[in-house]
A and B are shown apart, each in its own frame.
Chain A
Amino acid sequence: MSWVNAVVQGILLGGLYALVAAGLSLVFGVMRIVNLAHGVLAVLAAFGAYVLGDTLGLHPFLALLVVVPVMAAVGYGLQRGLLNRALGGGELAPLLVTFGLAIVLQNALLEAFSADSRRLDVGDLGTASIRLGDGLAIGVFPLLAAVVGVLVIAAIGQFLARTATGRAMRATSDDRDAAALMGIDGRHLYAVATAIALATVAIAGVFLGARSTFDPSAGGTTLIFAFEAVVIGGLGSLWGTLLGGVVLGVAQALGAAVDPAYGVLAGHVVFLVVLATRPRGLLPSAVTA
């Protein structure tokens, strides 16, 4: 039964990883940037919710009403003020700029909040569970995180498929110059994509912060798990990212079932195996260059 339990918990964990990775996947899909600050931005959002809880007594989920729009605005400004400029400087420039941004943000958080571990308090929800049978129970909070992950990915997918702005993003992703000839302003469009990405990473950050403790240095691990989910699933493919998150989550849960020390390691091993055998990921994006 413990194996079944591990798989179920792993799937739920995978939903959370997919939630974290959704924005990373979107930004890469639209503008071919790997945002190395993605993890720190999730931690930033968690601290935002923490401050709102600490000062105003807001429940973390209520804090989302503030944190999500603020992070979206930050994303829009970040893209227009910084990343769009970096895009003109070749493939390496955005990587270096986001790497630098991650360092600056992490140290700013360290300065403001110290290295103490914090946790967002979601009350009874954090411990509530649903009993499915002998020895198998699902935590309400992990289930909620996974459901939100699926919903966010589905929503982004529908946005890309059905709205004019979403179609423009796919067009720009296929051929930026040709898209400009259709009257599409890439600078604005990229900023909208980053705003959406940071809105989703804000949700992810709050769920991560409520699931376990976090401190200013938590961004690195967050980024690695999100990046692994994106790569396992196939770069630029949203549903691939969900699958990648689930594969990673199940691998970690099964590894941890063998020995708690093997959890993270098992995830990395699966990542490397996928990279070696299916370098384009499990669900490669339909677009071929």
Chain B
Amino acid sequence: MTAPLLEVAGVGKRFGKLTVLHDVSFSLAPGEAFGVVGPNGAGKSTLLNVVAGVLPADGGRVVLDGEDVTRTGAAARCRSGIGRSYQVPRPFGGMTVFENALVAASFGAGLRGRAAADAAYAALVTAGLDGQADTTAGTLRLLDRKRLELARALATNPRLVLLDEIAGGLTEAEVPALVETVRQLGREGVAVVWIEHVVHALVAVVTRLMCLTYGEVLAVGDPHEVLADPKVVEVYLGSTIAGDDPGLEESA
């Protein structure tokens, strides 16, 4: 097996007395797609924040491509190849859609001039936003804001993309296109950690799945086996685990 691109070892995070993550470990090969499921409040977004460097870990290590980045800030981690999308989109509202992606290409990917512009535009095409390049980002509707999150993360030319519920709110017809986009990332050698409540979209892409609950890893492994695990069924899915139950798609 090749050396892991990302290694999360025994990571913990507390907010005051509340333990949000406890001894979470997983690793990711280059180009691998890794899914994360779990009930609301399980610590999924916090985990992505710790991996991206938005929040410091209280314990454990985050290793990117052999380099310990546990103490590295978010900006430096982005430059070394981690792209992150927010669950609740945070566009640069006063700038155009294109400028949003251009900033990511200029600083995250370290590109200049024409190369930065080309990378920004390519990211908009991938995310399906190229038609709105000159729209002010603050006026986008929610769905396009989510697309912009993806475009900005991609424009940083990442080796690892952290996707936080980007399928929530998509129509059934739009999900296959998104699934194809994430698959394409894998073919280009970009590893993906994807948090998603739309389980059937996740299962269509990821090769491994992790279920988090109360900040701890409940199960990790083959997506179908994890979803069939009685413990997972009990704490997360309730009764049905068909994976395409529309009732599971109530994410915000």
Contacts and interface: CB of A to CB of B under 8 A. Distances in A.
A288 B136 CA distance: 12
Interface in B48-83: 52, 54, 73-76, 78-79, 83
- Top 3 nearest A-B pairs (CB, nearest first) are A183-B108, A287-B94, A183-B78
A183 B75 CA distance: 4
Interface in B87-128: 90-95, 99-100, 102-104, 106-110, 112, 116
Contact of B92 (A164, A171, A180): A171
A174 B108 contact: no
Contact of A178 (B83, B92, B112, B116): B92
A56 B188 CA distance: 63
B147 interface: no
A180 B54 contact: yes
Most chain B beta carbons < 10 A, residue from A170, A171, A185: A171
B138 interface: yes
Contacts of B75: 180-181, 183-186
A190 B107 CA distance: 15
Interface of A: 164, 167-168, 170-171, 173-175, 177-186, 285-288
Contacts of A170: 92, 94-95, 99
Contacts of B112: 164
Most chain B beta carbons < 10 A, residue from A167, A181, A185, A285: A181
Given A171-B92, A181-B108, A286-B136, 15 more contacts: A167-B95, A167-B106, A174-B91, A177-B74, A177-B90, A179-B92, A179-B103, A180-B54, A181-B54, A181-B74, A183-B156, A184-B75, A184-B107, A185-B75, A285-B94
Contact of A182 (B73, B93, B94, B152): B152
Interface in B143-157: 152-153, 156
Interface residues of B, number: 34
Contacts of A181: 52, 54, 74-75, 78, 83-84, 108, 153
B61 to A, nearest CB: 21
B194 interface: no
11 contacts: A164-B112, A167-B95, A167-B106, A170-B92, A175-B92, A178-B86, A178-B91, A179-B103, A182-B108, A185-B76, A288-B93
A164 B116 contact: yes
B104 to A, nearest CB: 4
A171 to B, nearest CB: 4
A287 B100 CA distance: 14
Contacts of A184: 75, 103, 107
Contacts of B104: 182-183
A183 B94 contact: no
Most chain A beta carbons < 10 A, residue from B54, B102, B107, B109: B107
B159 to A, nearest CB: 13
Nearest to A186: B75
